[in-house]
C-alpha cells in the first residue's frame, strides 16, 4: 500500500520531476500531430491517385498497343467474373502541347495524351468528379464540342454581340462570315486540359489566369505508328479542365476522344477499321483483393499473348510515390521517437537525483520492513505515473491541436503575416488530418515504456541500497 | 529462563579502503522480556552498529542474534523484512519521518508496509484509528494532519516513537532518541519511553551517551573496545 501512497505523494510534491516529463508530453503531442497530418495528406493523396487511376490496369508493353482489346476485355470479364464492375479501353501516349496565345506568343509543354471514351472512363474511377469548366462548375464527362463551347470563341463572342442588333443585309453577311470564322476557330474534337497546364497561378490570393480558355484551340503533337519515328499533330478545342488536385496529373494530362487519337496516330487497322489501345482500365467490386486478382489476370493475359501485357494495380502504378511517403513517415517517426528517448534520459537523471535525495527515507522504509522489491516498485511506479501523466497530457494536447489545426494555422498566418499553409500548392482548402487510433495507442505505449525503462536503473539502485548505509547517509 | 532478545559473540568490522576496522569484537548482550536496558559508550564505540545487528538491519560477520532462544540473524531476507516490520520497533536520533507524509500517515507507515492495497482498503478504518490513538498516547493528537516540516524536534521524535510502537512490536530499539533534543524535551521523551515500556512490558534497548538518561534504565551496560561490560547498577 505504501508504494501507491508514496508514488502519488512524490508526483504531487516533486515539481522538478514534472518538468522532466514536459519533453515526454511534447514528444507525444508532436508525434500525434505529425502522424495525423501525414496520414491525412497520404489518405487524401491516395484517394486522388486512386480516383485518377482505375483499380487495375492491363497495359501493353508497346505504345502501339493492341487491336484485340475486346478479346482482352472478354478475358478479363471471364477471369474476374462478378468482381469486375466496369472496363474502359484507353490509349495513352506522351506528346507535346502548344497553346497559342495570339500573335507570336505560345506555350509548349510535354504532356501525357490520353485517348478515352469519357463515359466509359467515368465508370472506372472518379474521372467525372475532376472535370470543371472555366467558372469552376462541375461538367459532365463529354468531349463533344457543343454550340455553347463554340460561342466562347472570339468569333462566337462577336456573333453574340450582333444578336441584339436590328437585322439588316450588311449585318447578315457579317454574321455569315463570322459563322465560318467560328467553325475555323473551334476544332471539331474536344479535349479536357489539365488545370495546371491551362492556367497560370499568380498567388497572393489572386484568381488564376487562363492561358487556354474554354473554346480555344490547342495543338497536340504525338508519335505516329510508322516504320521510322514520325510525328503527328492535331487540333482540339478546350471543352473543360481536369483538376484532380494532384499536380503531377493536373500539369500533364490531356484527355482527347479515343477514336480521334487512334485516327491521328495512324493506329486504325485498314482491314477492319479497328483502332488500337494500350490500356484497359478496370474497376472491380469493393473489397476484392487487388493483388490476387492482378496475379490471376496476369496469368490469363500470358496465355492470350505471352510477354505482351502487364497487369498493374493502381498502387503498383504509383509504387515509388506511395513508398516514398511511407518511408518519409517512418523516418519522421523514428526521429520524433528519439525526442521521447531523450526525455527518457531526462527522467533517468532526475530520478537518480531523487533516489539520492531519498536515501534516508529508503533506509527508514527498510528499517520499517519494506522489502527490496517494494522499494523498487515505488520508483518504477513513480516512473509509470509520470509517463501516464506526460503521455496523457501530450495525447490530449496533440488531439486538440489536430482538432483545431486549421484555426491554429489561421492564427499563425495572421501573427506572421505569411500564409503558413498555402492551399494553392495542394488545392486543399483545409489541412487534412486523420487520427488513427492504433497510431495514438502505439505512441502512448512507447512513451510509457520509455518512462518506465528510464526509471529501472534508479529504482534498482534504490532497492539495492543497504539500510544501514542509507540511514547513515548525510 | 532464556532471554527475550540476546546476542552471542557478535563481531562486525567495516572496510575503509583497504583497511579493515573492527567495530564489534564479540559482543554479548541480553535483555529479559519487559526490561529496559541502556547501552552507553563513547561515540564511535559501535553502539549503533550493535543496535542495527540486533534489529536485523545488518548481518554480523560472526556470532548470532536470538529471539526467545531462536536464532534470527540468518533468516532469509523476506523473513527478516517481516520481523523488522512486526517484531522490532526502531527510533533514531534524527527522527526520520518521511517529509511527504503527514504525522498520522507516518505513524501508519508500518501498517501500510504490512498490508497490500486490498487488505489496506478492508482495514483502513482500524489502521487509521490505531494511528490516531497512538498519536494521542504520545500527546500529539492535535498534530495528526501536520507535515513534519511544521513540527518541532520533540514533536517529531514523539511521532517517531508512535510510529515505532503502532505495529505492536515486542522489542523497541532506540538509537540516541534524546540526542538531538534539549534536556527538558529529552526527559519528556524518556519518560514516555519508560511509561510505554511498563504499560506494554516492551523489551527496550536504548543506546545513549548521556549518563543521566542511562541511569533511568533497569540496567546499564557499557560498550567499549568492541565489548560489553556491565557498568553500574541501575538507580531506578
pLDDT tens-digit series, residues A68-109: 888 888 888 888 888 888 888 988 889 999 887 766 678 888
pLDDT of B234: 45
Query: Under 8 Å CB-to-CB from B21, ≥6 apart: which residues?
Result: B13, B14, B15
User: Band of the pLDDT at A425, cuts 50, 70, 90?
Assistant: low
8 Å CB contact between A114 and A192? no
Structure pTM? 0.74
Reported confidence tier of residue A438, pLDDT bands at 50, 70, 90: very high
Burial class (CB in 10 A: 0-12, 13-18, 19+), A58: buried
Percentage of chain A exceeding pLDDT 90: 16
Contacts of A377 (CB under 8 A, 6+ apart): A3, A459
Q: Measure A359 CA to nearest chain B CA, in Å.
A: 11
CB contact under 8 A, A364 and B98: yes
CB A19 within 8 A of CB A343: no
* Number of residues in chain B: 236
The rounded distance, in Å, linking the Cα atoms of B213 and B217 is 8
Q: What 3-state DSSP class applies to A414?
A: helix
Structure ipTM: 0.89
A236 Cβ contact partners less than 8 Å away, ≥ 6 residues apart = A187, A189, A190, A191, A217, A218, A219, A220, A254, A256
Rg (CA), chain A: 33
pLDDT-derived band at B235, boundaries 50, 70, 90: very low
Whole-number pLDDT of residue B236: 43
Q: Measured between alpha carbons, how far is B144 from B142 in angstroms, rounded to an integer?
A: 6
Residue A388 C-alpha, separation from nearest chain B C-alpha, in angstroms = 20
Half-sphere exposure of A164 (CA within 13 A, CB side): 4
DSSP-assigned beta bridge partners for residue B171: B88, B203
Closest residue of chain B to A361, computed from CA coordinates: B98
Asked if B101 lies within 8 A of A5 by C-beta distance, the reply is yes
**Using alpha carbons only, what angle is made at residue B83 by residues B207 and B57, rounded to the nearest 5 degrees?**
50
More confident residue, A172 or B207: B207
Asked if residue A174 has pLDDT above 50, the reply is yes
User: Which one is predicted more confidently, B188 or B1?
Assistant: B188
What are the helix and strand counts (H, E) for chain A? 20, 12
* B217 vs B205: CA distance, rounded Å: 9
Do residue A1 and residue B110 have CB atoms under 8 angstroms apart? no
Q: How far apart are the C-alpha atoms of A50 and A64, rounded to whole Å?
A: 25
| CB of B100 less than 8 A from some CB of A | yes
Mean pLDDT in residue range A21-40: 89
Residue A300's contacts (CB-CB under 8 Å, 6 or more residues apart) are A75, A76, A78, A79
Question: Which positions 329-368 of A are in contact with B (Cβ < 8 Å)?
Answer: 360-361, 363-368
How sure is the predictor about A404, in pLDDT bands with cuts at 50, 70 and 90? very high
Q: Which residues of chain B are within 8 Å of residue A367 when distances are taken between CB atoms?
A: 55, 57, 84, 90, 92
pLDDT tens digits, A413-423: 888 887 777 76
- Tell me whether A464 touches chain B (CB under 8 Å): no
Does the pLDDT of residue A167 top 80, yes or no? no
Widest CA span in chain A: 122
B98 to A6: CB separation less than 8 angstroms, yes or no: yes
Lowest mean pLDDT among A140-149, A289-298, A396-405, B24-33: A140-149
Look at residues A287, A445, A321, A415 and name the one whose alpha carbon lies nearest to residue A41. A321
Instruction: Give the CA distances from residue B236 to residues A202, B35, B174, B188, B212, in Å, rounded to whole numbers and listed in that order.
Output: 105, 12, 19, 16, 11
Q: Does B137 touch chain A (CB under 8 A)?
A: no
| The predicted structure's pLDDT at residue A22 | 86
Amino acid at each position: 500500500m505504501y508504494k501507491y501512497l508514496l508514488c502519488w505523494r512524490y508526483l504531487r510534491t516533486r515539481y522538478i520531476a514534472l518538468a522532466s516529463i514536459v519533453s515526454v508530453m511534447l514528444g507525444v503531442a508532436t508525434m500525434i500531430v505529425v502522424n495525423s497530418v501525414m496520414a491525412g495528406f497520404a489518405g487524401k493523396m491516395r484517394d486522388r491517385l486512386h480516383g485518377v487511376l482505375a483499380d487495375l490496369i492491363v497495359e501493353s508493353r508497346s505504345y502501339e498497343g493492341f487491336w484485340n482489346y475486346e478479346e482482352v476485355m472478354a478475358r478479363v470479364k471471364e477471369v474476374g467474373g462478378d468482381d469486375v464492375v466496369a472496363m474502359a479501353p484507353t490509349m495513352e501516349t506522351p506528346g507535346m502541347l502548344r497553346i497559342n496565345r495570339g500573335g507570336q506568343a505560345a506555350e509548349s509543354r510535354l504532356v501525357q495524351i490520353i485517348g478515352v471514351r469519357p463515359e466509359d472512363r467515368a465508370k472506372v474511377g472518379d474521372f467525372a468528379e475532376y472535370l470543371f469548366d472555366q467558372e469552376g462548375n462541375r461538367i459532365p464527362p463529354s468531349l463533344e464540342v457543343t454550340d455553347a463551347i463554340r460561342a466562347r470563341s472570339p468569333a462566337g463572342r462577336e456573333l453574340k454581340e450582333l444578336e441584339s442588333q436590328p437585322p439588316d443585309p450588311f449585318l447578315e453577311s457579317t454574321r455569315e462570315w463570322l459563322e465560318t470564322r467560328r467553325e475555323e476557330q473551334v476544332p471539331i474534337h474536344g479535349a479536357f486540359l489539365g488545370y495546371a497546364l491551362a492556367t497560370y497561378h499568380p498567388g497572393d490570393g489572386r484568381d488564376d489566369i487562363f492561358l487556354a480558355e474554354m473554346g480555344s484551340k490547342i495543338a497536340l503533337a504525338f508519335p505516329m505508328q510508322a516504320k521510322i519515328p514520325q510525328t503527328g499533330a492535331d487540333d482540339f478545342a478546350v471543352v473543360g479542365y481536369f483538376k484532380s488536385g494532384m499536380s503531377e496529373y493536373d500539369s500533364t494530362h490531356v484527355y482527347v476522344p479515343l477514336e480521334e487519337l487512334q485516327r491521328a496516330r495512324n493506329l486504325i487497322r485498314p482491314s477492319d477499321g479497328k483502332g488500337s489501345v494500350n490500356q484497359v482500365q478496370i474497376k472491380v467490386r469493393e473489397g476484392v483483393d487487388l493483388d490476387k486478382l492482378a496475379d490471376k489476370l496476369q496469368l490469363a493475359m500470358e496465355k492470350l499473348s505471352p510477354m505482351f501485357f502487364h497487369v498493374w494495380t493502381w498502387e503498383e502504378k504509383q509504387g515509388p510515390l506511395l513508398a516514398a511517403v511511407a518511408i518519409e513517415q517512418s523516418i519522421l517517426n523514428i526521429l520524433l521517437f528519439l525526442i521521447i528517448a531523450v526525455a527518457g534520459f531526462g527522467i533517468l537523471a532526475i530520478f537518480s537525483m531523487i533516489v539520492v535525495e531519498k536515501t534516508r527515507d529508503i533506509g527508514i522504509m527498510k528499517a520499517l520492513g519494506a522489502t527490496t522489491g517494494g522499494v523498487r516498485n515505488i520508483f518504477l511506479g513513480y516512473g509509470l505515473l509520470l509517463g501516464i501523466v506526460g503521455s496523457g497530457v501530450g495525447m490530449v494536447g496533440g488531439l486538440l491541436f489536430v482538432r483545431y489545426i486549421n484555426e491554429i494555422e489561421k492564427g499563425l498566418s495572421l501573427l506572421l503575416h505569411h500564409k503558413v499553409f498555402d492551399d494553392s500548392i495542394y488545392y486543399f482548402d483545409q489541412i487534412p488530418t486523420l487520427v488513427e487510433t492504433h497510431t495514438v495507442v502505439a505512441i502512448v505505449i512507447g512513451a510509457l515504456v520509455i518512462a518506465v525503462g528510464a526509471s529501472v536503473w534508479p529504482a534498482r539502485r534504490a532497492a539495492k541500497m543497504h539500510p544501514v548505509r542509507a540511514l547513515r547517509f548525510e | 529462563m532464556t532471554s527475550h532478545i540476546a546476542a552471542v559473540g557478535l563481531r562486525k568490522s567495516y572496510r575503509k579502503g583497504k583497511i579493515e576496522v573492527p567495530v564489534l569484537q564479540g559482543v554479548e548482550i541480553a535483555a529479559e522480556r519487559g526490561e529496559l536496558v541502556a547501552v552507553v559508550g563513547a561515540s564511535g564505540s559501535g553502539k549503533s552498529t550493535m543496535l542495527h545487528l540486533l534489529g536485523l538491519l545488518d548481518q554480523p560477520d560472526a556470532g548470532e542474534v536470538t529471539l526467545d532462544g531462536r536464532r534470527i540473524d540468518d533468516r532469509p531476507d523476506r523473513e527478516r523484512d517481516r520481523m523488522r516490520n512486526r517484531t522490532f520497533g526502531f527510533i533514531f536520533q534524527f527522527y526520520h519521518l518521511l517529509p511527504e507524509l503527514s504525522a498520522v500517515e507516518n505513524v501508519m507507515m508500518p501498517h501500510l508496509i504490512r498490508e497490500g492495497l486490498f487488505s489496506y482498503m478492508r482495514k483502513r478504518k482500524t489502521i487509521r484509528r490505531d494511528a490516531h490513538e497512538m498519536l494521542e498516547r504520545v500527546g500529539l493528537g492535535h498534530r495528526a494532519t501536520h507535515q513534519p516540516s511544521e513540527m518541532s524536534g520533540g514533536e517529531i521524535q514523539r511521532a517517531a516513537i508512535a510510529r515505532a510502537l503502532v505495529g505492536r512490536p515486542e522489542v523497541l530499539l532506540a538509537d540516541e532518541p534524546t540526542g538531538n533534543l534539549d534536556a527538558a524535551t529529552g526527559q519528556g521523551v524518556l519518560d514516555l519511553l519508560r511509561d510505554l515500556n511498563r504499560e506494554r512490558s516492551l523489551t527496550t534497548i536504548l543506546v545513549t551517551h548521556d549518563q543521566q538518561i542511562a541511569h533511568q534504565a533497569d540496567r546499564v551496560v557499557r560498550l567499549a573496545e568492541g565489548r560489553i561490560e556491565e557498568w553500574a547498577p541501575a538507580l531506578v
